[in-house]
Amino acid sequence: MLYERYDVNASADLTSFEFESKGPKGTIQKVVRYTEINVKGYYNLGFGDKDPYTGLISDLTVTNNNDSKKVLATVAATLYVFTNNYLDATIFATGSTAARTRLYRIGISNNLAQIEKNFLIFGLGKDRWEPFRINVNYIAFLVRRKS
């Protein structure tokens, strides 16, 4: 990934990450967390903003800090770090809204060649997984490091 990205703090087990988005809307704390789900070796990628007053994480807010590419590049960097250390992990990701999922899809599409150098990537269509293709309206994604 060639885009500029933010500095990141990571938990010792490399499952939780924090960074700060800086822009016209001020400083927004972002959190990324990989949590294992019911399928062994599968992890959900959760990503959202931390409310400065409540401390709660949410991905329903639209920050508009003019740094979406930098933010996505930073999230992508955490994926590399996580999968560098959890070599057999498969990562599941989807947005809380269709718009959010579309944003992720566009980010993947714009960097697909780079991503596919290191990862297998699948998109979920109506009812089945398929290798990711550009311009297909997927509802979720699965990513795994190539062996």
CB atoms within 10 A of CB 116: 14
Q: How far apart are CA 115 and CA 97, in angstroms?
A: 23
* Residue 90 lies near other proteins (rule: CB under 8 A): yes
Q: For residue 102, give both structure tokens.
A: 């579309």
* Residue 25 lies near other proteins (rule: CB under 8 A): no
Q: Which stretch binds other proteins (CB under 8 A): 21-29, 63-71, 86-94, 97-105?
A: 86-94
* Residue 97 lies near other proteins (rule: CB under 8 A): no
* Residue 85 lies near other proteins (rule: CB under 8 A): yes
Q: Show contacts with other proteins in window 5-24 (CB under 8 A).
A: 5-14, 16-18
Residue of 26, 41, 61, 136 that binds other proteins (CB under 8 A): 41
Angle at 105 between CA 26 and CA 29, to 5 degrees: 20
The nearer residue to other proteins, 33 or 105, going by C-beta atoms, is 33
Residue of 100, 110, 111, 140 that binds other proteins (CB under 8 A): 140
Residue of 28, 30, 33, 79 that binds other proteins (CB under 8 A): 33
* Residue 144 lies near other proteins (rule: CB under 8 A): yes
Q: What is the DSSP string of 100-115?
A: HHHHHHHHHHHTHHHH
Residue 87 near residue 114, CB atoms below 8 Å: no
Tell me the torsion sign for CA atoms 57, 44, 3, 88: positive
Q: For residue 84, give both structure tokens.
A: 């560098």
Closest CB 68 distance from other proteins, rounded Å: 18
